[in-house]
């Protein structure tokens, strides 16, 4: 059975849980990476994001590296920033330089890093995998959580996406993430299913982050139900995240 067929067969089961609307809403907020990835965002906008995140107690905020200086000295929620973003085309030394600069600017907890998916899809698979492994080792040394962005809309089919996920999990990563949100095609339920299936099959502690066009509560709830159903674990921010910029306003 193809992954697409398996996904369609399982689709009706995702909604069969005992959560009510209030429980889903509260959980969605608790696992959210509240995101503002606008190049020209002002200090006022970043600080307003932090206030909203702290008040709602989301899992983390996610902003550009050049906005880290706008943060207050202390933040109750975790801070994530993006690297090799959005195209995934930076040389490894450029990535290391960016990481060093980020760590010198602010206290960072998490890195959302774009996997060199274009290089991988052009046939340079080992180069792309090695690039990611080096970033993972760096993050381990610095005690940073690494979320690897796959840009799922770029993959030709679910099988190729599932395969690269298995390879990335085997060599090491903390989270697999669907999308940058900067291309025409963001997250889809079928792509999320392929990633989650790879995580489940690996018996690893790898987490999953869905992002890219998650604007409505029911979208978020679908991914939440799916993740819990496939992985067989109670949802928690330690292994599941939703990246979104406008979703929180519709949940509170």
Angle between helices 125-141 and 92-105 (to 10 degrees): 20
Asked about 209 being catalytic, the answer comes back as: yes
Cα 228 from Cα 238, distance rounded (Å): 13
Cα 219 from Cα 74, distance rounded (Å): 32
Pick the catalytic residue from 27, 112, 174, 237: 112
Pick the catalytic residue from 27, 78, 147, 177: 177
Asked about 237 being catalytic, the answer comes back as: no
Pick the catalytic residue from 27, 147, 197, 209: 209
Cα 71 from Cα 126, distance rounded (Å): 37
Rounded-to-10 torsion of CA 147, 231, 193, 149: 0
Spell out the residues 6+ positions from residue 123 whose beta carbon is closer than 8 angstroms to its own: none
> What positions carry a catalytic annotation?
112, 177, 209
């Amino acid at each position: 059975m193809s992954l697409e067929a398996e996904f369609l067969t399982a689709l009706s089961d995702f909604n069969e849980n005992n959560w009510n609307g209030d429980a889903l809403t509260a959980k969605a907020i608790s696992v959210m990476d509240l995101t503002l990835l606008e190049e020209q965002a002002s200090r006022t906008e970043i600080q307003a994001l932090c206030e909203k995140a702290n008040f709602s107690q989301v899992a983390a905020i996610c902003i550009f590296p050049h906005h880290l200086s706008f943060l207050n000295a202390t933040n109750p929620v975790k801070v994530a920033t993006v690297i090799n973003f959005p195209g995934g085309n930076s040389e490894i030394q450029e990535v290391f330089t960016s990481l060093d600069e980020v760590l010198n600017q602010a206290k960072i907890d998490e890195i959302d890093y774009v996997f060199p998916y274009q290089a991988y899809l052009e046939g340079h698979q080992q180069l792309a995998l090695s690039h990611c492994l080096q970033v993972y080792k760096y993050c381990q040394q610095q005690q940073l959580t690494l979320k690897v962005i796959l840009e799922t809309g770029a993959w030709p089919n679910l099988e190729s996406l599932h395969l690269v996920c298995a390879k990335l999990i085997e060599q090491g990563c903390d989270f697999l993430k669907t999308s940058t949100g900067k291309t025409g095609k963001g997250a889809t339920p079928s792509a999320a299913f392929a990633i989650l299936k790879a995580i489940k099959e690996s018996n690893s502690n790898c987490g999953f982050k869905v992002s890219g066009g998650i604007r409505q509560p029911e979208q978020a709830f679908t991914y939440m139900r799916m993740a819990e159903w496939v992985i067989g674990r109670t949802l928690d921010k330690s292994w599941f995240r939703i990246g979104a910029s406008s979703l929180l306003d519709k949940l509170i």
